[in-house]
Amino acid sequence: MAPPRTLPVARLIGIGTGGLALAAIWGTYNVFMPLLLGDFVASRGLRGAIMGLDNVVAILLIPVVGAWSDRVDGRWGRRLPFLLAGVPLAALTFAGLPWAATALWTLLAVDVVFLLAITLYRAPLVALLPDHVAPDDRAAGNGIITLMGALGGVVALVLIAPSFDAARWWPFVAAALLALASLAVVALSARRHPPFVRHGAVQDDAPVLRGLLRDLRELTGPAHRGPAWLLLGLFFCFFGFAAVEAQFSVLATESLGFTGGEAGRLLGAASAAFVLLALPAGFVGRRFGELQAMRGGALLLAAALVVAAVAPAPLLVACMALAGAGWALVLVPGYPLVANQGGRDRVGFFTGLYYLFGSGAAIVAPGTAGVLMDLLGNRALFGAAAAALVVGAVVLTLAARQGVGGGRGAVARP
């Protein structure tokens, strides 16, 4: 008998609490880890390079762990054993980061263990969605999971981050406790042997690096010129956003006169705007074309950063909210547009390339922006990120001229 096709909304919300906690951890990490590193490392470039380590670990190990979880099948199923092992260790080491900041080597040692522990359960957590949802319903299911993750960013930056000023260990402990609580909810919500589990589910979202590099060579052919411009444009857009996400707290605390908690709250304005604009951004993409929405979002985000570079402190909240709205217009239509480039038969191929270009930008952006901050001053962050976003918008225009999204005819849809 075929499994039921009804979308398990309540179950997905329960599973999505794992994504909420994961986003809360990363939000806390991106704001405050640079400040902990600042006690020992003066170079913004070196701090940025360290901040890119999580993406290096992810791109190398997530597919490996995913394949491993495909082969496990015991009392707790395929995915839950990795969560039961990884979440407590990640929570413990994450909570310990502020106490490890007595010397650089202890901080980095705990950080590496934390990154390995969180990588141990990221892929199995992601795989719980396709395990529980029929293929034709996964877009709707992914919307629930994405929304839960976005809410996690708001929780971290708006509710948890301000406590850093009272006790800099508290945001780390609070996010760790949230992760442990989410583990209990996920364990109760997920089925031990869900109906749609299949081999290779994780590799659809995080293919192995060797396969990604092989796929990358295919983009050099004339038949893929439009998608190649699209992915390159996304790379520059991701670069601009990742640079600000990783280095904003350094700029805010060292040059703008804000505390660490206030820096987190400012980034929280961007996260809150993203949550509010996520659904409207999808409508804009459908109404005017995904590529038009993405170009508009990149330019809006760039403009917000340019204004933020010269705006007085009271206007920074509005600037960051506009930045979050711009990012929603880029991110929400971005993946569907890339995934659709090869039709239904090549979704995995283009999903892998989307993952490669996005992760690649997140690896190089923090360190590159940090080097520019070392050379030109901290305020160069906004200019560098805005320049990358403008370049991204220009490259997306080149993709449109190659017919991606219907080219010039994609300005409006009936």
Domain shared by 196 and 216, yes or no: no
Q: Residue 216: which CATH number?
A: 1.20.1250.20
User: What one-character DSSP code corresponds to residue 77?
Assistant: B
What whole-number distance in Å separates Cα of residue 336 and Cα of residue 339? Answer: 5
Distance CA 196, CA 193 (A): 9
User: Do 48 and 136 reside in the same domain of the chain?
Assistant: yes
* Of 158, 182, 206, the domain-final residue: 206
Q: What is the pLDDT of residue 210?
A: 57
CA distance 107 to 97: 6
- Of 206, 232, 249, the position where a domain reaches its end is 206
Residue 411 lies in a domain: no
**Whether residues 257 and 367 fall in one domain:** yes
Whether residues 315 and 355 share a domain: the answer is yes
- Owner of token pair 């719980």: 128
pTM of the model: 0.83
DSSP 308-375: HHHS-GGGHHHHHHHHHHHHHHHHHHHHHHHHGGG-GGGHHHHHHHHHHHHHHHHHHHHHHHHHHHHH
Cβ atoms of 48 and 369 closer than 8 Å? yes
Burial, 275: exposed, middle or buried (Cβ in 10 Å; 0-12, 13-18, 19+)? middle
180 and 329 belong to one structural domain: no
Same domain, 50 and 77: yes
Rounded CA-CA distance 266/64 in Å is 36
**44 contacts 371 by C-beta, under 8 angstroms:** yes
Q: What is the pLDDT of residue 9?
A: 80
CB-hemisphere CA count at 13 Å for 402? Answer: 18
If one counts the domains in the chain, the total is 2
Residue 412 pLDDT: 34
Distance between CA atoms of residues 52 and 12, nearest Å: 30
3-class SS of residue 74: strand
Q: What is the pLDDT of residue 249?
A: 94
- Are 22 and 80 part of one and the same domain? yes
Rounded Cα distance between 380 and 179, Å, is: 35
Per-residue pLDDT of the chain (414 residues; tens, 9 = 90+): 445 556 778 888 898 899 999 999 999 999 999 999 999 999 999 999 999 888 888 777 766 776 677 676 777 777 888 889 999 999 999 999 999 999 999 999 999 999 999 988 887 887 777 777 776 666 667 678 778 888 999 999 999 999 999 999 999 999 999 999 999 999 998 887 777 665 444 445 545 555 556 656 666 666 667 888 999 999 999 999 999 999 999 999 999 889 999 999 999 999 999 989 888 888 888 888 889 999 999 999 999 999 998 888 788 999 999 999 999 999 888 877 887 776 655 666 677 678 778 888 999 999 999 999 999 999 899 999 999 999 999 999 998 887 776 544 343 332
What contacts 61, CB < 8 A, 6 or more positions away?
Answer: 116, 119
Structural domain harbouring 283: 209-406
Considering the domain architecture, whether residues 55 and 143 belong to the same structural domain is answered as yes
* 97 & 220 share domain: no
- Residue 382 · residue 243 · CB < 8 Å: no
Which of 155, 188, 206 marks a domain boundary? 206
- HSE toward the beta carbon, residue 31, CA cutoff 13 A: 34
Residue 190 backbone dihedrals phi, psi, to 5 degrees: -80, 140
